[in-house]
Structure 1
Amino acid sequence: MAYSGFVDLSHIPEEDELVALFYVEPAEGISVEEAAARVASESSNGTWTDLPTMSERIRKLSAKVFKIDGKWFLVSYPVELFELGNMPQIWSSIAGNIFGMKAVSRLRLEDVFWPKDIVRSFKGPKFGLNGVKNIMKVEKRPILATVPKPKVGMTSEEQAEAAYEIWCGGVDLLKDDENLTSQSFNRFERRIRLMMEMRRKAEKETGEKKSYLVNITAPYEEMKRRLRLVADYGNEFVMVDILTAGWSALQSIRDLAEENGLALHAHRAFHAAFDRIREHGVSMKVVAESARLIGVDNIHIGTVVGKLESPLEEVMSLIRIIRDEKVEENWDMKLLRKDWLDIKPVMPVSSGGLHPGLIPEIMRIFGGDVIIQAGGGVLGHPDGPKAGAKALRQAMEAVLEGVDLEEYAKKHQELRRALEKWGYMKPV
């Protein structure tokens, strides 16, 4: 039949083959092996019927299912199937039509082994984890970030005033949220100008480096204009909603950011639409790997303890994927091996429902190489944004000094007030 040639359980992939790990729940009357074969076929060079145009030369380019373990299976793809350096084409291949096939009830692309030719075809981050730390003049502690809340609705003046208070309270980075771009109440040009004025004022007052993760997400030509405007104002970062903007826009913006000396902050808005159901869609692992190859410098990967759904095992896998130079295969964690060659590590961002009482657990999970972003956990402080920023900084300092938060709070009013309000609550 048309799909029989796409399974070869004796096949041993070559080092230059891309390998994808899938989970499948076949449709009624379809076996796992047949469903897997259809995935390999549809994602490479097969179709629903035999083809007289399928020459032996073309057949050698077919993807092959080479391992089946329960409902999990591995597919190898000859590297010739892919246009090097083209992430949209790669995703169109391994994560394209396959999810709509009648033969599968649920299907999940869980992880990818990226062969060296593909890794080398991407630039990776310009700055990466260590470059971001250098920009912020931070060495041995987490970088603290805050989104002024409400996330939309504030005027440019209101946001800049809140930013000044927060920066002066001890936070390093201010960030736009994913849905703040250039609405009528907060136009982009006015916001970046006022934010930079307040940034300079806060730096002078505190003697610390401050910066702004400004959201440039828009149609591509407008993103280019906004990026250049950010560079003209002397800011160090731009932020892009990488999934709603798309891989194509991200690849081009990454290069333009490098030309203008800017680091790239990746927000993952929309990811849960296709990765939250564990048996279907594309995992956040594959998203993070693709973003690292393209070249983001920071990326949100979840909190475990915050308001957004992110299991510990997934977050730990993501930390390894974006920070380590190499990753060993771990079948229990459904993690394929990685060799990132010269691709720099990416700074992870932990965000979503964080407050001072959760900082010890976040630092236990992530260590010091992380951006900890708390929005409501700063702006919601009973004594205002500056006190909220101080409480966040105090919680971090307590952990660094090895002091229990309750003990540290005895001499730090802002932290004490935060703990009185939120304690160690994990938002739901």
Structure 2
Amino acid sequence: MSEVDRIGATYLLRTRLDPERAAKVIAGEQSSGTFVSLPGETAELTKRAAARVEALEEIEDSGAPPLPGATGDGELRSFRLRITWPLANIGPSLPNLMATLAGNLYELREVAGLKLLDIDLPEVFLDRYAGPAFGISGTRELSGVEASKPLIGTIIKPSVGLSPQDTAELVEELCQGGIDFIKDDELQADGPACPFDERARSVLRVIDAHAQRTGKRVMYAVNITDEIDEMRRKHDIVAEMGGTCVMVSLNSLGVVGLAALRSHARLPIHGHRNGWGYLGRSPDNGWGFQAWQKIWRVAGVDHLHVNALANKFWEDDDSVVSSARACLSPLFPERAWQAMPVFSSGQTIRQVPETWQRVGSADLIHCAGGGIVAHPGGVPAGVAAMRAAWEAAQAGTTLAEAAKDTPELATALEAFK
């Protein structure tokens, strides 16, 4: 069996036991073995179906406490573990892939910590799944933003509480201010205080009227997260009214839900990662973003949230930059299937220079909620300040220098310290 017929995964493993024994237990639990020898597990079957430990390399341990219930009284040590599985065990199926690579192994007593760091997928997944339909180039075409510039975006704030009419009025102000991209907050879906149909229709009428006047159609990622049939219906409302994007909460939807939406969708799918903390926050357990984002790109997401620099959450800047670069890295030699990274979390003009310097690409959506809406000069001034900050960063000019010619940026520097 060649390597193209195998699926690979890399883990951070922590254990107090003999590491080779722990790795063997993981491989057995997630393929043909169990806790005792089985009469039917012949040498031929094992050769055909068993997982294979390919590499086990000791690395520095974090010193964090072990997972509850971990056995062993030896020294707690960390290892970089690589395991491969025969593709024939599951076929090119994302739900079953997740069950294999991130299933019961997290519950093993031999494991004192385990984090799925990366996945290697055979190209046969290209034949089963559609991948992103629009990605970076399609998003740029629909939004009208040229390749050398980021999409300047914002989030409807307050997160919840606005009526459909309130939302439409805010969107009209954002459109007039020159925004490229607007998204619903993930908490705003289809509640009785702000029903989806009324909100979507009110906002999209405003966006269409603005496009008729100016020629610029602002991209609005409408939150359609729901049951599958309802998502399809809501997607079609957005498409019929000239909308250019829909948004879903990925961890709420699941990979099957996203794949079902992708098979129906005619619009870019904006993937919000809310809930990521329960998967990725622990340095020693759960999922690494490098592995997680590959699942969603194969399933068909076009945009992926990556947090942001100097954010209001727990994640450090190195992790954010690594996540953004992962989204921009080609997924397969034949097809890049890139997802446009979305920077969002406590953003103002202050984070722009380092974002440009460290990511080194304008293929991103930079969303600032309060950083735009709370500008003392109003929404148009907030948009102008963010755009000026990006132009300055890309030109190698400091914000202070650029602010001499841009009053909106000067005000933002004073307001957001």
CA displacement, residues 230-271 of structure 1 (integer Å, 9 cap, x when unaligned): 1121111111111111001000001111xxx21111111111
CA displacement, residues 82-107 of structure 1 (integer Å, 9 cap, x when unaligned): 231x2111101110111112221211
Residue pair 2:180, 2:219 contacting (<8 A) in 1 also? yes
Query: Whole-Å Cα distance in 2 between the matches of residues 349 and 312 of structure 1?
Result: 14
TM-score by length of 2: 0.90
Query: Whole-Å Cα distance in 2 between the matches of residues 256 and 185 of structure 1?
Result: 28
Residue 68 (structure 1) aligned with residue 56 (structure 2): yes
Residue 365 (structure 1) aligned with residue 358 (structure 2): yes
Counterpart in 2 of 1:38? 25
Counterpart in 1 of 2:345? 352
Counterpart in 2 of 1:146? 154
* Letter of the structure 2 residue corresponding to residue 321 of structure 1: A
Counterpart in 1 of 2:61? none
Residue 99 (structure 1) aligned with residue 106 (structure 2): yes
Residue 321 (structure 1) aligned with residue 336 (structure 2): no
Residue 171 (structure 1) aligned with residue 179 (structure 2): yes
Give the CA deviation at 1:204.
Answer: 4.3
* Letter of the structure 1 residue corresponding to residue 402 of structure 2: Y
CA displacement, residues 181-234 of structure 1 (integer Å, 9 cap, x when unaligned): 011221101111111121123334544331200010012221122111111211
Residue pair 1:145, 1:373 contacting (<8 A) in 2 also? yes
CA RMSD of aligned residues (A): 1.8
TM-score by length of 1: 0.87
Query: Whole-Å Cα distance in 1 between the matches of residues 191 and 409 of structure 2?
Result: 35
Give the CA deviation at 1:363.
Answer: 1.9
Residue pair 1:62, 1:77 contacting (<8 A) in 2 also? yes
* Letter of the structure 2 residue corresponding to residue 255 of structure 1: S
Residue 122 (structure 1) aligned with residue 129 (structure 2): yes
Query: Whole-Å Cα distance in 1 between the matches of residues 391 and 205 of structure 2?
Result: 28
Task: Give 1:214-293 correspondences, 5 Å limit.
Answer: 214-257=222-265, 261-293=266-298
Residue 296 (structure 1) aligned with residue 301 (structure 2): yes
Residue pair 1:147, 1:175 contacting (<8 A) in 2 also? yes
Match of 1:308 among 291, 307, 313: 313
Residue pair 1:175, 1:212 contacting (<8 A) in 2 also? yes
CA displacement, residues 387-416 of structure 1 (integer Å, 9 cap, x when unaligned): 222222222232344432112222322221
Query: Whole-Å Cα distance in 2 between the matches of residues 80 and 409 of structure 1?
Result: 60
* Letter of the structure 1 residue corresponding to residue 28 of structure 2: S
Counterpart in 2 of 1:14? 3
Query: Whole-Å Cα distance in 1 between the matches of residues 385 and 167 of structure 2?
Result: 20
Query: Whole-Å Cα distance in 1 between the matches of residues 263 and 125 of structure 2?
Result: 18
Counterpart in 1 of 2:88? 80
Residue pair 1:145, 1:173 contacting (<8 A) in 2 also? yes
* Letter of the structure 2 residue corresponding to residue 390 of structure 1: A
* Letter of the structure 2 residue corresponding to residue 23 of structure 1: L
Match of 2:139 among 132, 141, 148: 132
Counterpart in 2 of 1:58? 45
Give the CA deviation at 1:126.
Answer: 1.0
Counterpart in 1 of 2:74? none
Q: SS at 1:48's partner residue?
A: coil
Larger mean Cα displacement after TM superposition, 241-250 or 392-401: 392-401
Counterpart in 1 of 2:401? 407
Counterpart in 1 of 2:67? none
Over 3 Å counting, the alpha-carbon distance change for 1:13 and 1:308 in structure 2 is farther
Query: Whole-Å Cα distance in 1 between the matches of residues 318 and 26 of structure 2?
Result: 27
Residue pair 1:16, 1:116 contacting (<8 A) in 2 also? no
Match of 1:397 among 382, 387, 391: 391
Counterpart in 2 of 1:374? 368
Which structure 1 segments of 5+ residues have no match? 1-11, 326-337, 424-428
Give the CA deviation at 1:16.
Answer: 2.6
Residue pair 2:150, 2:363 contacting (<8 A) in 1 also? yes
Residue pair 1:168, 1:205 contacting (<8 A) in 2 also? no
Counterpart in 1 of 2:412? 418
CA displacement, residues 3-59 of structure 1 (integer Å, 9 cap, x when unaligned): xxxxxxxxx972331111111122x5x222222112111211211111001133421
Give the CA deviation at 1:343.
Answer: 4.4
Q: SS at 2:112's partner residue?
A: strand
* Letter of the structure 1 residue corresponding to residue 276 of structure 2: H
Q: SS at 1:77's partner residue?
A: strand
Query: Whole-Å Cα distance in 2 between the matches of residues 339 and 187 of structure 1?
Result: 40
Counterpart in 2 of 1:162? 170
* Letter of the structure 2 residue corresponding to residue 224 of structure 1: R
Residue pair 2:142, 2:219 contacting (<8 A) in 1 also? no
Query: Whole-Å Cα distance in 2 between the matches of residues 13 and 50 of structure 1?
Result: 27
Residue pair 2:343, 2:367 contacting (<8 A) in 1 also? yes
Residue pair 2:268, 2:302 contacting (<8 A) in 1 also? yes
* Letter of the structure 2 residue corresponding to residue 69 of structure 1: E
Give the CA deviation at 1:130.
Answer: 1.0
Counterpart in 2 of 1:23? 12
